[in-house]
Amino acid sequence: MTLIAIEASADCWNFPFPFNASKVQTAEIVVDKGHVAVGFPDIGRAFIVSVDLSEAIELHLPRGDVFAGGPGFGRSVALDGDIVAIGAVRIGSHGAGVEQPAGFFHTGAVYVFDVSSGALLWHAQSDKEKAFGHSVFINADGVSFGIFEAPELDGRMLRLHHVARGAIEMWSREGEPLGLIDGPSDMRGFGAELSGSASLFTIAASADTLNIWMLMPRAGTAIQHASILSTLNRMPAGNLTAEGSTVAVSAGGGFAAADGRTLLMVPGHSPYEIVGGGPLALSEDRLSVLVRSAPEDQPYNQLVVYDITTNGTLAEAAKINHVVGAALEGVTLFAVLAEPGAPVRLCKMTT
């Protein structure tokens, strides 16, 4: 294993924030064709950075946009060639067990920019019945994103979470709506996370079953890829990534690594289970798991990178502290570090 020293300035780039790392808890990152896209939903900012860390562009929303100048922008990120898509989500205030109507409580949008210039090309905005921005994906077929349909409200404005519906909406790369793939009515969270190359993958979890769906955009259909009983210790599955037919999903991740679980599903093998769950990144060679909430004696996030090329086992390739987000390209890791008292940095290292 070779781990380039993150202190080396040639291998890190400082984001132009006028404050230290304390305000940045999350970074969404993807890498593709010579660029890295990074979103910071805590502060509502997003960037395109060249993979050699020599050039960067900040992506700006029009003045007066609902997500301009506030948190939420950067919740999801997708990148493919000449365009980048940034999802935005904002959740309003709510009391115990009582939520505001959908249009106030939860709004979202997807914005598409030109990679080379940073110019905004088009955007799609949530309406009062549907909220999106949690996930976005780009491939040759266009731009796809997950949708949550708000369930009916009863007379006391109590929202029935377990009957929320989900779907995948597909738009052309030029911004024209193409179609919709509906999820089963009982599959809350359908469309929550998108990844993959030729296909899209999404998850739906109940109390004791994890279902992984493979979506075929051109056919407009969804095929169940895997269903595993009592998979993640009854914890909701919140993170999903795919590379070809290899799929990883994680859940949990509280105040100790043991609170979370990650499953790696490789064709021809039984699922690998990893102690510790959180945001994921996957390449053909590596899987990284970010334990976002660390034990009390370790007050920082930790990223664990696994070598998935070994036959029959998983081997740790690297551990990096103070990470808030990461992306993988082969054995190369792009990680955002947010160390207390230091600038927020994007660092490139080989694992």
Per-residue model confidence (pLDDT) at position 190: 43
* Mean pLDDT on 319-334: 93
Q: What's the pLDDT band for 311 if we cut at 50, 70, 90?
A: low
Assign 3-class secondary structure to 12-27.
Answer: EEECCCCCCHHHCCCC
Which of 25-34, 127-136, 280-289 is least confident?
127-136
Contacts of 80 (CB under 8 A, 6+ apart): 32, 33, 138, 139
The yes-or-no verdict on residue 237 having pLDDT over 60 is yes
Distance CA 204, CA 210 (A): 6
Whose structure tokens read 């407009």? 220
The yes-or-no verdict on residue 115 having pLDDT over 70 is yes
HSE of 275, CA atoms in CB hemisphere, 13 A:
4
Distance CA 214, CA 2 (A): 35
Which of 30-34, 199-203, 272-276, 311-315 is least confident?
199-203
Per-residue model confidence (pLDDT) at position 20: 60
272 CB-contact burial (10 Å; exposed 0-12 / middle 13-18 / buried 19+)? middle
Q: What's the pLDDT band for 228 if we cut at 50, 70, 90?
A: low
Tell which residue, 212, 209, 214, 183, has the closest CA to residue 197.
214
Distance CA 175, CA 171 (A): 6
Q: Is the pTM of this model over 0.75?
A: yes
Q: What is the pLDDT of residues 205-222, one digit of tens each?
A: 555 666 777 766 666 666
Q: Which residue has the higher pLDDT, 300 or 201?
A: 300
Q: What's the pLDDT band for 110 if we cut at 50, 70, 90?
A: very high
Distance CA 240, CA 165 (A): 18
What are the CA-CA distances from residue 203 to residues 215, 247, 267 (Å)? 11, 11, 18
Per-residue model confidence (pLDDT) at position 169: 81
